[in-house]
Amino acid sequence: MTVKGRGRSCVARLGGGQGGGGEAGARRLVASATLIDSTVAILMLVYGGQLVINDQFYPTYYGGHNHSINVSINTSLEQLKLEVLRVLGHDATFFKVNMISRLPIVNGIIASPLIDDEVCSIALRNANTQLVIIYVEIESSGNALSKMSVPTTTQVEQCNSLSKVEC
């Protein structure tokens, strides 16, 4: 049986098995297929490790963590950055994010920095039909200083007069 969702179709074998067959199984499959939306991109965020890109732009990631997110394929780069920061628990006021997507090409994959809305759109449209990995690097922005205690002039002068600086 083929069940058509919005923009994609699912093929399922109904009947037999543990409680998954017959009419009830078909209803569950139809319900889950309607959740599939052709306007949604599924991204796997990879962060906290080290990204190495070779001469052919092939990415390899060491260590770190991952987290999946769903976004609209019409999401702009700025909206995606804000969503990534939100999902990973960072305040956009104090942090900025750099992202590199892992995109399929004819003979493999390449790493492509997400630098503008056009490149972001390409990554999101690919993520609509297959899993796209986004390598995420989070940095503190210039606004991060406003949250930190900045030494006063007196404290700086005292530090400068010490032989061993421990400021």
pLDDT tens digits for range 20-56: 444 444 344 344 444 556 789 999 999 999 999 998 8
112 and 52, same domain (yes or no): yes
24 and 65, same domain (yes or no): no
- In a domain, residue 135? The reply is yes
109 and 127, same domain (yes or no): yes
Residue 36's pLDDT is: 54
Q: What is the pTM of this model?
A: 0.63
- In a domain, residue 156? The reply is no
Residue 37's pLDDT is: 61
Number of separate domains in the chain: 2
Residue ranges of E strands in the chain:
2-4, 9-11, 40-47, 50-53, 59-62, 65-72, 95-105, 108-113, 132-140
Q: How is residue 143 annotated by DSSP?
A: G
26 and 44, same domain (yes or no): no
User: 81: buried, middle or exposed (CB in 10 Å: 19+, 13-18, 0-12)?
Assistant: buried
Confidence of residue 142 (pLDDT cuts 50, 70, 90): confident
Residue 106's pLDDT is: 87
* Residues 51-102 pLDDT 10s: 999 988 899 999 999 999 999 999 999 999 999 999 999 999 999 999 999 9
- In a domain, residue 104? The reply is yes
Q: CB–CB of 50/61 below 8 Å?
A: yes
> What domain range includes position 55?
40-147
